[in-house]
Structure 1
Amino acid sequence: MDTPKFPDDKIDNKRRKLIKTGLTTIGGVAALGMLPGSLRSVVYAATGGVETTKAKLGFIALTDAAPLFVALEKGIFAKYGMTDVEVLKQSSWGTTRDNLVLGSAANGIDGAHILSPMPYLITTGKMTANNQPVPMSILARLNLGGQCISVGNEYANLKLDVSAKGFKEAIATKKASGKPVNAAVTFPGGTHDLWMRYWLSAAGIDPNKDISTIVVPPAQMVANMKVGSMDTFCVCEPWNRQLINQKIGYTALTTSELWHNHPEKAFAMRSDWVEKNPNATQALLMAVMEAQMYCEKKENREEVAKICSDRKWIGAPFNDVVDRLKGNFDYGTGRVVQDSPEQMRYWKDFASYPFKSHDLWFLTEDIRWGYLPAATDTKALIDKVNREDLWRKAATALNVPAAEIPASTSRGVEKFFDGKVFDPENPKAYLDSLTIKYMA
């Protein structure tokens, strides 16, 4: 292979040798970290280190999918040799699941922007057709926080917030009158379902008895609220802000008010794809991580909002997207927070690293609500699905500073707004502290 020619002649002999030998193994990918950033991606593409240049990745029209949009729009996938990546819009999380089960060989997809619990529910077959298990691998977390719980103008006088004060009585009165009361989420056992259930149950509202939990695709939330199909919903942006802009309802809380900097979406691939294409997996992961760094920077947020609003991505007005992507929250109740500490994070605060302790919380909550059996071997399942080891290799290749790489697979003890505590070393104590639960 010819040595790539670079304008900078100051490359030392060691680096020249590295370039000439080619980077055709996972170790070679890690060795990219020895090169300056301006050379690293060129070398990776030039050496033909990837087993395939193709990957089909799904996304839902939400702002936490922005790293995938940016990685494609800014040429970052191509920069790492993945020149034929398709980023494909899915109509719902159920569609995402079904297409992952199919895989690209059967006209499905290889990986996706996905609710963090879903790779576990797919791997175990608990949320697939005919309970068919399809092993999945979580490669990175895509973001922290950034979701909201909204309510309709029917409850405008309550000015609901994280405490949900008065909501239990209001929905009980409505229910007693014979009218349906619905809370909309996006996928059973997914993040939005768990945030909604946590918020309601903390206020003494039983999500299985006092209100009906229904599943609605994210992009259909506002339209359904407009026709009165639901009383409250939980979803990512831009749909909460759009609800306010259309004067249909308001934001009660952003979900990081429930749990500061909570984990949210993940970047996951079918495990068979990862096993077959280890170098391409690393290339995709490096590209996504670089895109997350780009999305995190304040000076890029307006551009990221413009990208997100494009029809081929979210397809929502720019004004529905930009404010909250920049961290500015008008709740629609007179409450306004600029540069909110609870805004979405793409990279800061270890946003990209997939902590195993966070996956344990998701599994514990899915056990709480009966989506997974109480006897689930959570450690074995997490060790199978969570590939934080690949994230660390990618971080090394990208020369991520040591201060931005967690020392442990656990973020430690987590505290919630209502005083509950989740200790990853003792999830049973957390479960025992919860009053409302439906364990199988």
Structure 2
Amino acid sequence: MSLDQLNIGFLPLVDAALPILAQEHGFAEQEGLHLNFIRDVSWASVLDRLLYGQTDMAHMLAPLAIAATLGRGRPAKAVSVPFVLGLNGNAITVSLKLAAALAEPGLLGEPYSVGKRLKDEIARRATLGERVKFGVVHRYSSHNYKLRYWLSECGIAPDSDVDIVTIPPPFAADALASSEVDAICVGEPWNSVAVERGVGQIVLVTAQIWRRGVEKVLAMPADRLEGNRDLAERMVRALHRAAEHFVDQSNWDTNAALLARSQYLDGSPKLILRAISDQLLLASGTDPVHVPDFMFQYREAANFPWVSQAAWIYSQMLRWDHLDYNAADQTRAEQVFRPDVYRKALTGLNTPIPGANAKVEGGVSQLLGAGSSQGRLILGADPFFDHRVFDPTQLKKYLSALPNP
């Protein structure tokens, strides 16, 4: 059988797992696809390759897909997201010097208490003419937005009280080791690399900031998707089967070894396995701890592209780019996420599919049965740490209620 060849752009991160596993375990071949992988070191390069036609699809930051569509930082080109590659999976790792002021070694901090201690440390350093510097992976990343969300709720002004700079994920631990930054917010395995090297301590994970926060996505040019919906739907099915395989504990060792290969993450199977199994070593010399839902996959329609998640990203883009609300831009941002493609691809398979395209984000406090067009869908708690909720139909009202330190 002749297979359709697809070039897939990615960065060496654990949340690139699903397309890699789809190829390695034959799920892509079952859909008549062969995936060729092109590894980069920065998100800017991944986006450039996608928009200039060097790749067909990409492992992508969800906010970057929306920024490209809206023309933030470059000429606008519409990007579509038919599948979410996972929720959360990032952490905030700080230098050992800063960690001593923020949290106990080997224990995750509580967001408000860590924030209060950080605020005190920022004030102390200001008296010495010093500033705390954070590294994030891209301006248009969930890392940047969740970090800022946490800082601002704790009374820290991200644009004036601290410095936030961009560092590609593979260089994040190096930047911490060289004291170029005091802290990083990055995906695995790069937090664990910093801990293993003895240059950092994990003090928070982004799942503590937003329990079900959208992270990486499968992105493709919108015109390519519209020109070949069947291709996109086959890819969605292959990724869906890879996600089911990913969450099966009996596959964890095998998958960690696959992802660690030189052509993929080129890293330690031990560190990758920790991320897959939600077991993180927070500080050198301590025991790994279980971090529930650190990297969330498959269950609760985790891979469904909720347009309400796209709308939340747009709200943060307005907030931190200091832009005025534009209803047409909200619609364009929401249209980047394509639940219609996901739904069409998986109809008839044994998997729950949400009946709606949007929901109130942060509004579920306990297990909740949700409307579905197929199967029985149960959603778990998805709170923001400040207990606010985000209704995409009330975006302006939501923004007006957020702190503005």
- TM-score, L = length of structure 1: 0.81
Partner of 2:91: 148
Q: 1:413 & 1:278 partners in 2: Cα distance?
A: 28
Partner of 1:410: 358
Aligned Cα root-mean-square deviation (Å): 2.0
Q: 1:383 & 1:204 partners in 2: Cα distance?
A: 30
Shift of the 202–374 alpha-carbon distance from structure 1 to 2, 3 Å rule, reads same
Partner of 1:15: none
Q: Structure 1 residues 112-121 or 317-326, which shifts more?
A: 317-326
Structural mapping, 1:224-303, within 5 Å: 224-303=175-254
SS at match of 2:86: coil
Q: 2:247 & 2:29 partners in 1: Cα distance?
A: 21
Counterpart contact for 1:354–1:388, Cα < 8 Å: yes
Tell me the alpha carbon deviations over residues 251-284 of structure 1, each in whole angstroms, 9 at most, x when there is no partner.
1111111111211111111112112222212111
Paired residues, what number?
A: 377
Q: 1:248 & 1:212 partners in 2: Cα distance?
A: 20
Alignment counterpart, residue 122 of structure 1, candidates 54, 59, 68: 68
Alignment counterpart, residue 148 of structure 2, candidates 197, 217, 220: 197
Which consecutive unaligned segments of at least 5 residues does structure 1 have?
1-45
Shift of the 151–109 alpha-carbon distance from structure 1 to 2, 3 Å rule, reads same
Counterpart contact for 1:254–1:342, Cα < 8 Å: no
C-alpha deviation, 1:372, in angstroms: 5.3
C-alpha deviation, 1:419, in angstroms: 2.7
Partner of 2:366: none
Counterpart contact for 2:314–2:330, Cα < 8 Å: no
Partner of 2:41: 91
Structural mapping, 1:396-435, within 5 Å: 396-397=347-348, 399-401=349-351, 404-414=352-362, 415-435=383-403
Partner of 2:80: 137
Q: 2:264 & 2:322 partners in 1: Cα distance?
A: 31
Q: 2:267 & 2:186 partners in 1: Cα distance?
A: 15
Q: Who wins on radius of gyration, i.e. which is larger?
A: 1
Shift of the 373–57 alpha-carbon distance from structure 1 to 2, 3 Å rule, reads farther
> Are 2:33 and 1:82 aligned?
yes
Q: 2:400 & 2:315 partners in 1: Cα distance?
A: 11
SS at match of 1:332: coil
Q: Which amino acid aligns with 1:296?
A: V
Q: 1:345 & 1:125 partners in 2: Cα distance?
A: 30
Q: 2:293 & 2:266 partners in 1: Cα distance?
A: 25
SS at match of 2:354: coil
Q: Structure 1 residues 143-152 or 327-336, which shifts more?
A: 327-336
SS at match of 2:6: strand
C-alpha deviation, 1:334, in angstroms: 8.6
Q: Which amino acid aligns with 2:359?
A: R
Structural mapping, 1:346-361, within 5 Å: 346-361=297-312
Q: 2:339 & 2:322 partners in 1: Cα distance?
A: 24
Structural mapping, 1:316-395, within 5 Å: 316-332=267-283, 338-370=289-321, 373-395=324-346
Q: Which amino acid aligns with 1:153?
A: L
Partner of 2:368: none
Counterpart contact for 1:360–1:378, Cα < 8 Å: no
Counterpart contact for 1:286–1:394, Cα < 8 Å: yes
Alignment counterpart, residue 130 of structure 2, candidates 179, 201, 206: 179
Tell me the alpha carbon deviations over residues 376-417 of structure 1, each in whole angstroms, 9 at most, x when there is no partner.
5244214532211010011115x133xx21121123241311
Shift of the 158–179 alpha-carbon distance from structure 1 to 2, 3 Å rule, reads closer
Q: 1:187 & 1:432 partners in 2: Cα distance?
A: 25
Partner of 1:4: none
Q: Structure 1 residues 209-218 or 317-326, which shifts more?
A: 317-326
Which consecutive unaligned segments of at least 5 residues does structure 2 have?
104-108, 363-382
Q: Structure 1 residues 420-429 or 55-64, which shifts more?
A: 420-429
C-alpha deviation, 1:340, in angstroms: 3.0
Q: 1:330 & 1:229 partners in 2: Cα distance?
A: 23
SS at match of 1:117: helix
SS at match of 1:431: helix
Counterpart contact for 1:184–1:213, Cα < 8 Å: yes
Counterpart contact for 2:143–2:186, Cα < 8 Å: yes
Shift of the 119–346 alpha-carbon distance from structure 1 to 2, 3 Å rule, reads same
Partner of 2:101: 158
Q: 1:420 & 1:116 partners in 2: Cα distance?
A: 21
Partner of 1:5: none
